């Protein structure tokens, strides 16, 4: 008979269920709480065997520790502290011994294939400038090895640099390789062939106007003379009475055209005057009859002689009472210029730019010499000319004044000027009129270049635009190589000299001017101010307005900016104010030179001289606590001053040199003690003074530079 569910005795850890009682967890029944209420239904029944509490399973036993592998003990790394405790030295260290360094599997060695090397005995070079990477391929050695060999010879190069053929040949001969030079025809050669020095066909030559350069000393009336010829008034508007840049003009006299070049007369513009002489046929040297030949006049004569041009002397200002024409002629003979009146071939034309006297005679003399020289050129060919002046115009871009020497320059011609290329977009004559072509001896202003050329560069007009790019690229590479070559000529002596030069003070300057010729003139004038102790370093010079790039360069290089006939734009001015860059603007070059000269004087290291003051004899000595030894002296010569320096002599041998610590007359501090008086002198950091010593006093004074 089945038992009633409620009559079952509760299992171990379980309370009897009834009247809503929930089963309880072990440890929460009445057994666990003796003081709790007894369950309903009476005493608990005895448990069955299978209901008895199961014995608690014993905890799993820990596995017995394995014996440590001996090899593992050897492989275990040992710390540095343990090594120090064990007093292990470097000599005890063995890389092959395990325990000091973790063993790593040996790397598989790469299988080196057997390469066959061919010995190079002969190599061919096709250019005089060889990149080191190309030379390394020709010689079969690395470029780094070549740089090492060059360094041993005192030539510092990197693997990206180039060297000349002579240096490459020397390196090759050292390796037992014969280097042969076989030059390829360059773009420059093609250009030279097109404009060769071959004689022109006489049937194609036509007469051309003479090119006349007017040169002379400053304020001798050179510009006034041209003003008379051109019937224009430019003298009054020129700063300081100086023509600030080369101008080219054409005038027609008696049906004949003459081209005039006006060059500045001051010595600062030597380079500009030299360019004018090289592009001219006749040189008119203006000499003031009341002043005679001056230093700039002598320079003008020298340039005219060097250029091999005919010379005409215009003796100006003959209207003045003190004019002395005979003195001018005498001075000319001192420079190997013999006037026609004295049996020579130099025409001396007395003129007056103020009254116009003698100008007809001067122009007739120019035309006469031009007839005698029979000046001709071929207009039926591509143009060749010389840059008289160049500048950067803010609205038109690079503008160059060109004097056509041969051929005819036309609009849309492709040209190369030095390292600058372009296509002639527009062309104007000296009157500012638009023209489409210009023949020999014609000055024109052209636009369309990609940069500002240098004054004195030669212009070539070519048919192929590609040729202009190749020529310009070759020229730029050559210029870069020349600069690198000049900078790479370094020996050990040069290194020490560079170190010495680093101690020389310098004034960094950026030069900006309206035209390229003025840039060169200002630059050369400033660089001439350098001396052994202070130098002018022109770190940048260019034509055009002062811009933000110039300000940033000046700020980074601690330079000042000198503007000649230019001004900074608004942005550059604000940047300069924020960065504290000093901008100096000038219209007359003398003022710029004077300001820079004053700045250099301020940078010079001060010079000092020693001035002897007097001598005193030590007649007694006193030991004073806190002061030291005080010498009781009698001044025998001059005077002893407190701010002076002292030399102590014993038996005519100097034993000490120092400063005056105290100078007293009795108990009073005094500034000086004159001859015939006694005084007490204590010497700074010197107490070994004896009776009979002599003290000589002197002062160090600064000498103004």
Q: What pLDDT shows up at residue 265?
A: 41
Whether 23 contacts 16, CB under 8 Å:
no
Q: What pLDDT shows up at residue 602?
A: 61
CA nearest to 683, candidates 622, 609, 637, 610: 622
Q: Which CATH architecture has domain 492-603?
A: 3-Layer(aba) Sandwich (3.40)
Whether 279 contacts 403, CB under 8 Å:
yes
- Give the start-to-end residue ranges of the domains of the chain: 122-181, 209-374, 384-479, 492-603, 607-703
Q: Which tokens in the block code for residue 436?
A: 């489409």
**pLDDT tens digits along 195-237:** 766 667 778 888 899 988 888 776 767 777 877 777 643 443 4
| Gyration radius from the chain CA atoms | 49
Q: What pLDDT shows up at residue 547?
A: 86
Q: What values do phi and psi take at 474, rounded to 5? A: -65, -40
3-class DSSP assignment, residue 206: strand
Instruction: With both helix axes pointing from N to C terminus, report the angle between 143-152 and 132-139 in degrees, rounded to the nearest 10.
Output: 100
| 35: CB partners within 8 A, 6+ apart | none
Whether 261 contacts 276, CB under 8 Å:
yes
Q: Is 2.40.30.10 the CATH classification of the domain at 384-479? A: yes
368's enclosing H/E stretch is: helix 359-373
Residue 455 CA: distances (Å) to CA of 247, 271, 278, 695: 12, 10, 12, 67
Kindly tell me the number of DSSP H helices and DSSP E strands found in the chain: 17, 32
DSSP output for 536-596: EEEEEEEES-B-HHHHHHHHHHT-EEEEES--B-HHHHHHHHHHT--EEEESSHHHHHHHH
Q: What pLDDT shows up at residue 425?
A: 93
Residue 629 CB burial class (10 angstroms; 0-12, 13-18, ≥19): middle
CA nearest to 217, candidates 265, 180, 259, 185: 265
Q: What values do phi and psi take at 284, rounded to 5? A: -100, 115
At the top level of CATH, which class does the domain 607-703 belong to? mainly beta
| 350: CB partners within 8 A, 6+ apart | 289, 315, 318, 325, 357, 358
- The stretches in the chain having pLDDT less than 70 are 1-119, 184, 196-199, 218, 220, 231-247, 262-278, 483-506, 532-533, 601-607, 704-705
3-class DSSP assignment, residue 269: helix
The alpha carbon dihedral of 687, 688, 693, 696 has a sign of negative
Q: Which CATH architecture has domain 209-374?
A: 3-Layer(aba) Sandwich (3.40)
CATH number of 122-181: 1.10.10
Residue 420 CB burial class (10 angstroms; 0-12, 13-18, ≥19): buried
Same fold, 209-374 and 492-603: yes
3-class DSSP assignment, residue 427: strand
327-351 in b/e burial notation, b at 16+ Cβ within 10 A?
A: ebbebbeeeebebeeeeeebbbbbb
Whether 297 contacts 273, CB under 8 Å:
no
Q: Which tokens in the block code for residue 407?
A: 């051929």
Q: What pLDDT shows up at residue 606?
A: 62
């Amino acid at each position: 008979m089945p038992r009633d569910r409620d009559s079952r005795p509760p299992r171990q850890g379980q309370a009897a269920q009834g009247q809503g009682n929930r089963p309880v967890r072990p440890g929460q029944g009445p057994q666990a709480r003796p003081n709790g209420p007894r369950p309903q239904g009476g005493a608990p029944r005895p448990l069955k065997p299978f209901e008895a509490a199961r014995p608690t399973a014993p905890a799993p036993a820990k596995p017995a520790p394995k014996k440590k592998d001996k090899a593992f003990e050897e492989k275990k790394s040992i710390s540095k502290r343990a090594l120090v405790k064990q007093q292990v030295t470097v000599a005890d260290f063995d890389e092959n011994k395990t325990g000091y360094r973790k063993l790593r599997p040996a790397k598989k060695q790469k299988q080196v294939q057997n390469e066959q090397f061919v010995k190079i005995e002969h190599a061919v070079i096709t250019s005089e400038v060889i990149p080191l990477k190309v030379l390394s391929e020709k010689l079969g050695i690395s470029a780094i090895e070549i740089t090492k060999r060059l360094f041993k010879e005192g030539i510092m190069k990197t693997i990206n640099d180039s060297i000349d053929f002579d240096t490459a040949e020397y390196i090759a001969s050292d390796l037992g390789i014969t280097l042969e030079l076989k030059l390829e025809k360059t773009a420059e050669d093609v250009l030279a062939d097109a404009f060769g020095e071959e004689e022109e066909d006489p049937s194609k030559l036509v007469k051309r106007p003479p090119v006349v350069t007017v040169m002379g000393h400053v304020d001798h009336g050179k510009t006034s003379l041209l003003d008379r010829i051109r019937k224009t008034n430019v003298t009054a508007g020129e700063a300081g009475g100086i023509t600030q840049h080369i101008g080219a003009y054409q005038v027609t006299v008696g049906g004949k055209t003459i081209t005039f070049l006006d060059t500045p007369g001051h010595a600062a513009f030597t380079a500009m005057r030299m360019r004018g002489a090289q592009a001219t046929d006749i040189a008119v040297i203006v000499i003031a009859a009341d002043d005679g030949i001056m230093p700039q006049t002598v320079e003008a004569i020298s340039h005219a002689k060097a250029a091999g041009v005919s010379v005409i002397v215009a003796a100006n200002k003959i209207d003045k009472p003190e004019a002395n024409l005979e003195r001018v002629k005498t001075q000319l003979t001192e420079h190997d210029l013999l006037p026609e009146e004295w049996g020579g071939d130099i025409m001396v034309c007395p003129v007056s730019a103020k009254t116009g006297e003698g100008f007809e005679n001067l122009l007739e003399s120019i035309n006469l010499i031009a007839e005698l020289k029979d000046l001709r050129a071929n207009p039926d060919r591509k143009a060749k000319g010389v840059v008289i002046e160049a500048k950067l115009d803010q609205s038109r871009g690079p503008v160059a004044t060109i004097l056509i020497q041969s051929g005819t320059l036309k609009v849309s011609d492709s040209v190369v000027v030095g390292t600058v290329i372009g296509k002639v977009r527009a062309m104007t004559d000296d009157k500012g009129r638009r023209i489409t072509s210009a023949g020999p001896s014609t000055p024109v202003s052209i636009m369309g270049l990609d940069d500002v050329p240098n004054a004195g560069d030669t212009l070539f007009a070519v048919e192929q635009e590609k040729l202009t790019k190749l020529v310009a690229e070759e020229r730029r590479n050559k210029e870069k190589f020349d600069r690198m070559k000049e900078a790479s000529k370094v020996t050990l002596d040069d290194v020490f000299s560079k170190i010495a030069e680093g101690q020389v003070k310098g004034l960094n300057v950026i030069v900006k001017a309206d035209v390229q010729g003025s840039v060169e003139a200002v630059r050369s004038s400033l660089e001439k101010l350098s001396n052994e102790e202070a130098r002018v370093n022109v770190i940048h010079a260019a034509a055009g307005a002062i811009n933000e790039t110039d300000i940033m360069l000046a700020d980074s290089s601690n330079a000042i900016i000198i503007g000649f006939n230019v001004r900074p734009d608004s942005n550059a001015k604000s940047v300069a104010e924020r960065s504290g860059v000093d901008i100096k603007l000038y219209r007359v070059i003398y003022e710029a030179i004077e300001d820079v000269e004053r700045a250099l004087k301020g940078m010079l290291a001060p010079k000092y001289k020693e001035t002897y003051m007097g001598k005193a004899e030590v007649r007694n000595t006193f030991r004073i606590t806190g002061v030291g030894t005080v010498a009781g002296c009698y001044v025998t010569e001059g005077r002893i001053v407190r701010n002076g320096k002292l030399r102590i002599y014993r038996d005519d041998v100097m034993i000490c040199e120092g400063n005056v610590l105290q100078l007293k007359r009795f108990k009073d501090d005094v500034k000086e003690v004159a001859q015939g008086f006694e005084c007490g002198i204590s010497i700074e950091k010197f107490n070994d003074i004896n009776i009979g010593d002599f003290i000589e006093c002197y002062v160090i004074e600064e000498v103004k530079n």
